[in-house]
Structure 1
């Protein structure tokens, strides 16, 4: 039987008067500030001109004419971009503004502020990391440019794991960066890398540790082999196991921090 509309308690009211607008919980979108609009225009110009990290941007006087804004709005726009690492402002001799780089570490710093205010803890971060990294590993194994895959993963394949047990922490971080590159999806890579960046920076770069543990080196070698062989399912499985090892390592080093709120350290 079809449902019938509930009769109005006030029969004399018209339908338009009794119809209620459902509540909305969305935060109203605020108007962009002039500095934010200028920041966006600067980024667009960097992309359109195919500028690379280290390339110089116009002098302040030129940018004031180009963007037709006040000096205070321009400087605020530049500060916004500098905080994000998208430009660098060099003081002193040879002063000027140069193009920065798209680095997950910069996004990770901003992300930690959001996560901290949202009340997110390190155990939730580690759960997200365990879900994120296998996705990138699977995509890397599917990369159709097999020559590039072999070139980037080849250095991590070893038949003698003991030999590579002395690898520095930087090489371990580079391994994960290469997998993100091979995933060949900048959107996923940047978003998921920002999650892993917070974790790795606070686990692997602990001052007490200068070298990778043999287990981690072993994991990297097996992962490199699976990615080179073009086996995405195996790569995802191995990455999940690898991250589990690192998570256990995190808990061993900082057992009380797991329940703490995430913050940039």
Structure 2
């Protein structure tokens, strides 16, 4: 028999309907950050549900970072301003469960970072440029220290550099995605980086690349800064990616 194949329907719990309506009110602007929901008792009346249903809905809304509900507070739950925490969590889960390869993750980092630095070259302030320079100076100082603590400090300064670039891009989604993808990539290869025999050489090369990127950003040459960023990322990470998968990374260099 032709036609579409339908799936069995799932019974929707009452608290999910409550959550949906509150989410819709927040998304539409009917409820704004800082405003409060009605009290538990009033919600029970408006939704025609019991107290346990209302409390379960509030727990879900709070877990999603949409409201803050305090036990015993006679006022209703407070609507919170947007936070990237929930998006950060969702993207991290997606990257893990979707079995993304290291090559795909590094390729996405190359796209994100080069886009961020392209925007930063056009939009950055003098203060943001100074932040980038300070981060690279910290990378050099940490490497010259030579200890294991110094290598950790190098990593922290490198993160500070990329965070400064992402902020200078002026795009919050680039900032969030950059942070998520970087943390996943480093989780996958941090052990290999620590054990690399040429770790110090790679770090010195990385500092040189960062200084070239800053020079291009200072000159306002976005396309050059983006190319340098992709090359820097490739040089640092390609050695950890299987040889057969490096073609996908090189495609971004051409």
1:133 aligns with one of 103, 113, 132: 113
Structure 1 equivalent of residue 141 of structure 2: 163
Q: Give the TM-score of the pair, scaled to structure 2.
A: 0.59
Could you tell me whether the CA contact under 8 Å between 1:108 and 1:195 is conserved in 2? no
Could you tell me whether the CA contact under 8 Å between 1:133 and 1:196 is conserved in 2? no
Structure 2 equivalent of residue 8 of structure 1: none
Larger Cα-atom Rg: 1
1:37 aligns with one of 7, 12, 21: 21
2:230 aligns with one of 240, 253, 261: 240
Q: How far 1:198 sits from its partner (Å)?
A: 2.4
Structure 2 equivalent of residue 231 of structure 1: 221
1:153 aligns with one of 132, 146, 156: 132
Could you tell me whether the CA contact under 8 Å between 2:25 and 2:31 is conserved in 1? no
Report the Cα distance in structure 2 between the residues aligned to 1:46 and 1:151, rounded to whole angstroms. 41
Report the Cα distance in structure 1 between the residues aligned to 2:235 and 2:70, rounded to whole angstroms. 41
Could you tell me whether the CA contact under 8 Å between 1:153 and 1:228 is conserved in 2? no
Unaligned runs of 5+ in 2: 6-11, 72-76, 144-149, 246-254
**Paired residue total:** 214
Report the Cα distance in structure 2 between the residues aligned to 1:81 and 1:189, rounded to whole angstroms. 25
Could you tell me whether the CA contact under 8 Å between 2:120 and 2:217 is conserved in 1? yes
1:102 aligns with one of 83, 93, 97: 83
Q: Give the TM-score of the pair, scaled to structure 1.
A: 0.57
For residues 12-62 of structure 1, the C-alpha deviation after alignment (integer angstroms, 9 at most, x for no partner) is: xxxxxxxx99x89xxxxxx9733133245457779944x5xxxxx85x873
For residues 143-191 of structure 1, the C-alpha deviation after alignment (integer angstroms, 9 at most, x for no partner) is: 0x53343343241354x97434243423222222221111112344434
Unaligned runs of 5+ in 1: 1-19, 25-30, 52-56, 259-265
Report the Cα distance in structure 1 between the residues aligned to 2:183 and 2:39, rounded to whole angstroms. 37
Describe the shift of the 1:205–1:43 C-alpha distance in structure 2 as closer, same or farther (beyond 3 A): farther
Where 2:39 maps in the other structure, the secondary structure is helix
Kindly report the root-mean-square deviation, in angstroms, between the aligned alpha carbons of the 2 structures. Answer: 4.6
Structure 1 equivalent of residue 206 of structure 2: 216
Q: How far 1:240 sits from its partner (Å)?
A: 0.6
For residues 231-255 of structure 1, the C-alpha deviation after alignment (integer angstroms, 9 at most, x for no partner) is: 211211121122213323644xxx7
| Structure with the bigger percentage of helix | 2
